[in-house]
Chains A and B, each alone.
Chain A
Amino acid sequence: MGRVDRSMQWREALFGIETAGRGTDAGRWIYNPYLLLVFRLVLAAVFIYAAFLKIGKPVSFAEEIKMYGILDAGPTLYIVAIVLPWIELLCGLSFISGFFMRGAALIFIVLNAVFLVFVSIRTGYIMNGEGIAFLEVYFDCGCGFGSTYAWKKILEDFLFLLFSGILFAAPVYRFVLVPARAGR
């Protein structure tokens, strides 16, 4: 295997940059590098900010997760409360730098999909419990941004899921921090 091949493999593993195999998708407007950069920066800003609000406050975050009625006080709840903010932070940094970005996008897809399900279930509980309409459901999702309408949170989460999915499927990433060795 030549030096160039090894360099490309290394780049692909580290940055998710693929120079072959998905070239047919490269012309799609949704994969415009500037648009992808916007998606990356939006996701990074939101999740890094949310992570800093939760890091070092595992008890508080655990209480917010508990309100979904899915996890009771116990090891699983507290491990999630300790670990999740750091994973959000690392994924956010990955979106800025380009390191392991496709993996970070995959994590965001899973996180946002799970969160979307949790928020929908909780919204359903509140609608049934309080007998109010979908658009009137107002609660603190535990994301670190305070209380908001459920429909806004669901829409927002759907957009994040979409951004993550597009980033994951993008054939090529640009504007990433490529070390000198990879560029040779």
Chain B
Amino acid sequence: MRTSIIQAFAVALLGCVIAFTHNAVSVNGINPFRRIGDVPVLGVEEWGTEDGLHFLTLEEVRSSLASGAMLIDSRTEDEYAEGHIPDAINLDYFEMGKYLDRVLPAISSDRGIIIYCTGLDCDDSEMLARELYLLGFRNLFCFRGGLEEWENSGLPVETGSESAGYGESG
């Protein structure tokens, strides 16, 4: 039994060494100690007075877009290609590293950044907003209703792998 336990620890230790080395060089590597849970989520009364994330309703999203806010779709590339809100930029939350170099220059806190995913059942938009907050971006908003609420309200959806808005902002 002692030999088995030593072997198990050896395998686990080797696994840790390889895993952290790979994580350090991988494009999707993450800092496991980043304080993603500490990003403040604001209530309506704090909006505009404090730093943090805020959740928007569909109407608020539409009025923010009219005043120049930008949209980020946090779903996968395939889901984005099947249908997304017009002018949204794709930044797959699960593989952020692949997209950051291309997408980060196109993002500006000055315009307000609205992030969405599928709908109420997914929290990828909130998690992506937290990641962007930790990267230094501000004026971050989450549209919890996501594409489902947008589509159910009869609003137009764009298909294809690159939004028209991509070129404008990039």
User: Complex: how many Å from CA A55 to CA B15?
Assistant: 12
**Residue A25 at the B interface, CB < 8 A?**
no
Closest B residue by C-beta to A102: B4
**Residue A90 at the B interface, CB < 8 A?**
yes
Q: Which single member of A63, A83, A94 contacts B19 (CB below 8 Å)? A: A83
User: Complex: how many Å from CA A84 to CA B26?
Assistant: 16
CB-based contact B37/A58 at 8 Å = no
CB-based contact B29/A58 at 8 Å = yes
**Residue B58 at the A interface, CB < 8 A?**
no
CB-based contact B10/A103 at 8 Å = yes
Contacts of A73 in B (CB 8 A): 36-37, 127, 130
With known contacts A75-B32, A86-B18, A100–B7 Cβ distance under 8 A:
yes
Looking at chain B's contact residues, is the secondary structure mostly helix, strand, loop, or mixed? helix
Contacts of A89 in B (CB 8 A): 15
A10 to chain B, nearest CB (A): 11
CB-based contact B3/A82 at 8 Å = no
Contacts of A57 in B (CB 8 A): 28, 94-95
**Residue B166 at the A interface, CB < 8 A?**
no
Q: Which single member of B3, B27, B28, B36 contacts A12 (CB below 8 Å)? A: B3
Chain B residues touching A, range: 20 to 34
CB-based contact B19/A100 at 8 Å = no
Within 8 A of A (CB), among B4-44: 4-12, 14-16, 18-20, 22-23, 26-30, 32-33, 36-37
Contacts of A85 in B (CB 8 A): 19
**Residue B124 at the A interface, CB < 8 A?**
yes
Contacts of B19 in A (CB 8 A): 82-83, 85-87
**Residue A171 at the B interface, CB < 8 A?**
no
User: Complex: how many Å from CA A105 to CA B7?
Assistant: 10
CB-based contact B28/A86 at 8 Å = no
User: Complex: how many Å from CA A79 to CA B32?
Assistant: 6
User: Complex: how many Å from CA A134 to CA B66?
Assistant: 48
User: Complex: how many Å from CA A87 to CA B14?
Assistant: 8
Closest B residue by C-beta to A62: B30
Contacts of B26 in A (CB 8 A): 56
Q: Which single member of B3, B20, B27, B30 contacts A16 (CB below 8 Å)? A: B3
Closest 10 CB pairs of A and B: A103-B7, A78-B32, A87-B15, A60-B94, A103-B8, A86-B19, A100-B7, A83-B19, A106-B8, A86-B15
Inter-chain pairs besides A58-B29, A103-B6, 14 sampled, C-beta below 8 Å: A59-B96, A63-B124, A82-B30, A83-B15, A86-B19, A87-B11, A90-B11, A91-B11, A100-B11, A102-B4, A106-B4, A106-B8, A107-B12, A168-B4
